[in-house]
């Protein structure tokens, strides 16, 4: 119950903040409209989605072999591969690389896996200064907050919030609410940091097993900076991000930016296949790839739930989610918010801790409809609702069965009993219709914003009989 109380508190806070709600509403409206415009031909879109789903599904079926191939090709190309079963191991791997180079600071491009690892916090505890360089991530880092959207991390903040934040953190810079000016200030601050940085870190959008290539999608150029200027580049990725062939990339790239922001392509698509080679005049001398499992291999075991591993992190499901649009990313309390977060995170962190998330959906289906790789999100949310209340959990991983309560089971048993005994059902309905005057006018939270529904004087069963409609 604790998780539900905490979730409700976060929801209440978000819903009470009219500025926040307006920020999310207008952004999500904009992103939905842009996506729609980016796919003018709906028939083609459906074919592309099928193709995207197929590429990702087939990569997952060959996952262990593709990971081995990726490792082999990367190693041959000079990229060093590290395997991490847990967040702790992944953090240690990054720390070790930092220590091997006596590095005291790290400049980061956008990486949701590093958020999952809580890498910044970990490195700071070891005396390493970490700086986010994606503008949105830079802003939330200054504010001491996690990102609220996987593509637009600072979208919960208004330009006034950001102007005040900059003034507080950089008093030398004149106060401005102008977006260009704020952006320019961030450029100047970060340029110095890129210049000085000895180690850069990035996420990975796709890892190509065939050639051992790391692909990065971005608009700002900070990703290129992090992977080009410092002497060492560390890429961190979940093990599910691998694809089989280079030719798998163009269809996925046709889907990813269009689904995310409505762009036909991002400003930069950066494909990294090796560290700086002999005679080359720039680029990192070392490239490391950290492959993180952290619960993914458990999700993988379930033929239905594994579909969530197809995710390419475009954010379209959250952009289209009417719940997300109202409560925003922080209310979820997990690294990845929105529908895909409500599917993945409880599986990683346990239904006993985050089982409430799959219930916080109307199952309207907008997410599944928008997903570029056709993850059946409503079906998976429904499945996790089952997993958390089932009374015969096959194992106790991820908090299966943990949300089962005697009271709720009893309610459903009674409900089932009434609905499987037609005479009883009709009798119950008869009582309700005859006693309709006694039904309370206040029905808890329902009637806070709604008039209570009025029970009809006669049921349809009665009316049908009266009309002489045959029973069989």
**According to CB under 8 A, which residues from 135 to 194 bind another protein?**
135-136, 139, 152-155, 157-159, 162, 179-180, 182-184, 186-187, 190-191, 194
Residue 429: strand, helix, or coil: helix
Residue that has been written with the tokens 């050639």 in this structure: 211
Residue 247's closest CA among 210, 201, 290?
210
Residue 130's closest CA among 234, 286, 282, 284?
234
Please, what is the minimum distance in Å from the beta carbon of residue 340 to another protein? 17
Contacts of 242 (CB under 8 A, 6+ apart): 59, 63, 66, 67, 70, 206, 207, 208, 209
Residue that has been written with the tokens 């999608």 in this structure: 217
Give me the phi and psi of 233, to 5 degrees please.
Answer: -120, 125
Please, what is the minimum distance in Å from the beta carbon of residue 23 to another protein? 7
Query: Within positions 74 to 133, which residues make up the interface with another protein, using CB under 8 A?
Result: 82-85, 89, 93, 133
Q: What is the 3-state secondary structure (H, E, C) of 364-389?
A: CCHHHHHCCCCCCHHHHHHHHHHHHH
- Position 395 contacts another protein (CB under 8 A): no
Residue 229's closest CA among 203, 197, 201?
197
**Spatial contact of 262 and 31, defined as CB atoms under 8 Å apart:** yes
Between 44 and 121, whose beta carbon lies closer to another protein?
44
Query: Within positions 209 to 228, which residues make up the interface with another protein, using CB under 8 A?
Result: 210-211, 213, 219-222, 224-225, 228
- Position 198 contacts another protein (CB under 8 A): no
Please, what is the minimum distance in Å from the beta carbon of residue 123 to another protein? 19
Q: Which two tokens mark 288?
A: 């490391």
- Position 387 contacts another protein (CB under 8 A): yes
Q: Please give the angle made by the CA atoms of 116, 326 and 141, to the nearest 5 degrees.
A: 35
Query: Within positions 314 to 353, which residues make up the interface with another protein, using CB under 8 A?
Result: 322-323, 326-327
From 11-19, 98-106, 113-121, 311-319, give the range in contact with another protein by CB under 8 A: 11-19
**Spatial contact of 335 and 345, defined as CB atoms under 8 Å apart:** yes
Which position among 3, 11, 342, 400 is part of the footprint of another protein (CB under 8 A)? 11
Please, what is the minimum distance in Å from the beta carbon of residue 121 to another protein? 22
- Reported as type and span, the H/E element at residue 297 is helix 296-300
Please, what is the minimum distance in Å from the beta carbon of residue 170 to another protein? 15
- Reported as type and span, the H/E element at residue 186 is helix 179-196
From 22-30, 113-121, 168-176, 334-342, give the range in contact with another protein by CB under 8 A: 22-30
Please count the residues of this chain forming the interface with another protein, following the rule CB under 8 A.
166
Query: Within positions 431 to 470, which residues make up the interface with another protein, using CB under 8 A?
Result: 432-433, 444-456, 458-465, 467, 469-470
Contact string 29-68 vs another protein (x = CB under 8 A): xxx------------x--xx-xx-xx--xx--x-xx--xx
Between 406 and 445, whose beta carbon lies closer to another protein?
445
């Amino acid at each position: 119950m604790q998780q539900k109380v905490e979730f409700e508190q976060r929801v209440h806070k978000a819903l009470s903040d009219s500025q926040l709600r307006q920020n999310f509403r207008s952004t999500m409206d904009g992103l939905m409209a842009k996506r729609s415009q980016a796919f003018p031909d709906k028939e083609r879109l459906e074919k592309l989605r099928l193709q995207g789903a197929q590429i990702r599904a087939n990569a997952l079926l060959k996952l262990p072999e593709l990971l081995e191939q990726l490792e082999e090709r990367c190693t041959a190309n000079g990229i060093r591969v590290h395997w991490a079963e847990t967040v702790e191991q992944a953090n240690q791997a990054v720390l070790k690389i930092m220590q091997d180079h006596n590095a005291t600071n790290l400049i980061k491009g956008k990486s949701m896996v590093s958020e999952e690892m809580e890498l910044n916090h970990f490195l700071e505890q070891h005396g390493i200064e970490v700086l986010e360089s994606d503008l949105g991530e830079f802003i939330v880092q200054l504010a001491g907050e996690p990102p609220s959207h996987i593509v637009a991390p600072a979208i919960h903040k208004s330009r006034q919030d950001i102007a005040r934040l900059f003034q507080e953190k950089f008093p030398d810079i004149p106060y401005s609410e102008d977006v260009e000016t704020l952006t320019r200030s961030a450029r100047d601050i970060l340029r110095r940091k890129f210049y000085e940085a000895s180690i850069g870190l990035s996420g990975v959008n796709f890892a190509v097993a065939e050639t051992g290539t790391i692909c990065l999608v971005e608009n700002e150029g900070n990703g290129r900076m992090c992977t080009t200027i410092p002497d060492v580049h560390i890429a961190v990725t979940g093990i599910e991000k691998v694809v089989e062939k280079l030719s798998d990339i163009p269809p996925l790239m046709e889907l990813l930016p269009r689904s995310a922001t409505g762009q036909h392509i991002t400003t930069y698509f950066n494909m990294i296949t090796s560290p700086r080679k002999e005679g080359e005049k720039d680029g990192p001398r070392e490239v490391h790839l950290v492959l993180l499992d952290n619960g993914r291999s458990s999700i993988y075991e379930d033929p239905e739930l594994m579909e969530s591993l197809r995710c390419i992190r475009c954010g379209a499901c959250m952009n289209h989610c009417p719940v997300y649009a109202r409560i925003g990313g922080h209310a979820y309390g997990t690294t990845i918010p929105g529908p895909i977060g409500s599917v993945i995170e409880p599986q990683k962190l346990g239904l006993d801790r985050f089982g409430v998330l799959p219930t916080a959906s109307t199952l309207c289906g907008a997410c599944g409809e928008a997903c570029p790789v056709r993850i059946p999100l409503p079906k998976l949310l429904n499945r996790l609702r089952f997993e958390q209340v089932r009374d015969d959990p096959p194992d106790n991983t991820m908090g299966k069965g943990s949300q089962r309560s005697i009271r709720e089971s009893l309610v459903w048993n009674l409900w089932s009993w009434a609905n499987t005994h037609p005479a009883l059902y009709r009798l119950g309905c008869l009582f309700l219709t005859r006693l309709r005057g006694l039904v309370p006018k206040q029905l808890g939270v329902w009637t806070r914003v709604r008039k209570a529904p009025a029970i009809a004087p006669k049921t349809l069963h009665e009316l049908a009989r009266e009309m002489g409609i045959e029973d069989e």
